[in-house]
Amino acid sequence: MSIPLMKIIEIDSDAALAAAVAELERRGLDAPGAADKEAAVRGIVDAVRDGGDAAVAEFTQKFDGVALSPAQFEVSKEEIAAARAKVDPALYATLEKARDNIRRFHEKNLRQSWEEVDADGTILGQRFTPLPSAGVYVPGGKAFYPSSVLMNIVPAVVAGVPEIVMVSPPSYEGGIHPLVLAAAEIAGATRVFRVGGAQAIAALAYGTDTIPAVATITGPGNIFVTLAKRFVSGVCAIDKEAGPSEVIVIADESTSPTMAAVELLAQGEHEEEAQAVLIATSRAKVDAIFAACEKEMETLSRAAIIRTAFSTCGIAFVVRSLEDAAALTNAYAPEHLALQVQDPRALFDQIDHAGCCILGEGTSVACGDYFVGPNHILPTARSARFASPLTADDFRKVTSVISCSPERMAKDADDIIRFAEAEAFTAHARAVEVRR
C-alpha cells in the first residue's frame, strides 16, 4: 500500500469531530521559530529607524548580497521603461486586462461620503478621504509576483491615494524582475525602490532621506517581513500579518478527482509551508484524489515543494457529511475555500469564515489569484474569523461629521449631561450645559 500524500483523519463520531474542531481552533499565526526571530527583526527595525539609509544599505548587503548606495535604491523611470520593453506584448496585455478587472471590482465596493439633515437642521454624516500615501511590499525571493503588484496597487489607485511607493528586494540580477516593474507601471505606482525584507518595512514606516514614510503598508512577505509589519503597526497602518497560504477543498461523491487534485497542487506549490487541506465524504474519494495528485505531479516543475508541503502541513479529513465539512471549515477559517460539491450554494450557506470562496469545480482558485477582480491578499491563520480581503477602503479613512441644531441640543442635553456625570466628567457636562 502506498504512503498517503498527507495525514488522513477520519471523523467517525461526534467526539472525533469535536476533537478535530478543537485542534483546528488552536491554530495560531506565528510560524515555528517566529519567537526566535523577533529579536533579530526588532534589531533591524530599530537600526533603520535610527540609522536611515545607511542601515538599509547595510542590511541589503548582508541579506540580499547586493551592494547599493542610497542613490541606487530608487528605480528610475528609464529603468522601468527598459523593463517594459523586455516583457512579451501578449503578457503585458494580460496584465492590463487583469488591472482593469481588479479596478472594476474594487470600484463597486468603494463606500461614498454621506450626510443627512434632520428636520430640525441637525447634520450627521461621514466623509471618506484617501490616505496620503501607501507603501506596497512585493516579495521577490523564491519567485516573482506581478499579480501581487496589481492586487496591492490597483485598490490604492481606486481609493485615490496620491503617493504609492513600491518596494521589492533586489533578487533579480541585483534589481527587480522586469515583469514586476512592468506591473508596477501598469498598476500606477508612483515610486519604486529595490529594497526588501524587514529593512524595507522599517524604511517605509519611519522614512529615510531617500525612502519616504507612508501612512499604510500592505502586501505579503516572509516571517521577517510579517514581524516587521507587526512592530511598526503603531507608527503606520498595516493590512494584515500574512501567514502561509491556505486552501480547503471540499469534495463529495460527485467531485472529479482531477479537479480537486489540481487545486490542492496549486496551493502546495507556493512554498514548503503552504497548507493544503482536503475534506471528503469518503476514504475512497480521498484515495482517488491522491492518485490524481500523483499523476499530475509527474509534469509539475515544483513537485518537490508540493510533496514537502503536503507531507508536513497537509491534512485530509474523511467526514460523515457535508455538515461535518462545514464545521471543520469554520474552525479552520481558510484563506481559500473551494466547494467542489454537487450543490455548492447550499454548502456555502453553512460557511461563516473564509477569505475567498470558490463555488463549484468549474472555477479555479487561480481565477481570483490572477485575473477576475477580487483581491488575492486575503486573511490567513484563522484571521478570516474577523478580517477581510484587501479592498480600496483599506486605503481610505473616515471622518465623522456632527452639527447639532439648537433644538437638538435642547432635546439631548439632559441625557448627555446625565451620561457625563455618571462617568464623573463634569467638564463634559458643563460643555453641554452652556449650550442649552
- Which tens digit of pLDDT belongs to each residue from 342-399? 999 999 999 999 999 999 999 999 999 999 999 999 999 999 999 999 999 999 999 9
- Which tens digit of pLDDT belongs to each residue from 155-183? 999 999 999 999 999 999 999 999 999 99
Q: Environment class of residue 150 by beta-carbon count within 10 Å: exposed (0-12), middle (13-18) or buried (19+)?
A: buried
Q: What is the pLDDT of residue 3?
A: 73
Alpha helices by DSSP H, listed for 60-174, are 77-86, 89-108, 146-159
Q: What is the pLDDT of residue 31?
A: 54
Phi and psi torsions of 158, nearest 5°: -60, -40
pLDDT beyond 60 at 29 = no
CA of 93: how far to CAs of 100, 139, 140, in Å?
Answer: 11, 23, 22
The percentage of the chain sitting over the pLDDT mark of 90, rounded to a whole number, equals 92
Q: What is the pLDDT of residue 32?
A: 55
Q: What is the pLDDT of residue 140?
A: 86
Q: What is the pLDDT of residue 319?
A: 98
Gap between the Cα atoms of 293 and 303, Å rounded? 10
pLDDT beyond 60 at 30 = no
Instruction: Identify which of 425, 393, 354 has the alpha carbon closest to the alpha carbon of residue 111.
Output: 393
336 included as an active-site residue? yes
pLDDT beyond 70 at 2 = no
Q: What is the pLDDT of residue 242?
A: 83
- Which tens digit of pLDDT belongs to each residue from 293-303? 999 999 999 99
pLDDT band for position 36 (50/70/90)?
A: confident
The residues near 342 (Cβ < 8 Å, ≥ 6 apart) are 252, 254
- Quick one: average pLDDT of 195-205? 98
3-state class of 278 per DSSP? strand
Among 106, 177, 270, 336, the one annotated catalytic:
336
- Which tens digit of pLDDT belongs to each residue from 43-61? 999 999 999 999 999 999 9
Which of these ranges, 28-42, 84-98, 161-175, 359-373, has the smallest mean pLDDT? Answer: 28-42
CA of 259: how far to CAs of 73, 245, 266, 374, in Å?
Answer: 44, 19, 11, 22
- Alpha carbon 119 to chain centroid, angstroms: 44
- Alpha carbon 194 to chain centroid, angstroms: 22
What is the torsional sign of CA 110, 385, 31, 294?
A: negative
Gap between the Cα atoms of 370 and 357, Å rounded? 15
| 133 neighbors 162 (Cβ within 8 angstroms) | yes
Burial 381-414 (b: 16+ CB within 10 A, else e): bbbbeebebbbbbbbbbeeeeeebeeebeeeebe
3-state class of 175 per DSSP? strand
pLDDT beyond 90 at 34 = no
Residue-level length of the chain = 436
Q: What is the pLDDT of residue 286?
A: 98
Q: What is the pLDDT of residue 27?
A: 73
Q: What is the pLDDT of residue 194?
A: 98
- Quick one: average pLDDT of 116-130? 97
Among 246, 335, 353, 361, the one annotated catalytic:
335
Q: What is the pLDDT of residue 226?
A: 92
The residues near 40 (Cβ < 8 Å, ≥ 6 apart) are 224
- Quick one: average pLDDT of 322-347? 98
pLDDT beyond 70 at 28 = no
Mean pLDDT for all residues in the chain? 95
Instruction: Identify which of 33, 10, 38, 27 has the alpha carbon closest to the alpha carbon of residue 275.
Output: 27
pLDDT band for position 1 (50/70/90)?
A: very low
pLDDT band for position 240 (50/70/90)?
A: confident
376 included as an active-site residue? no
- Quick one: average pLDDT of 15-31? 82
pLDDT beyond 80 at 142 = no
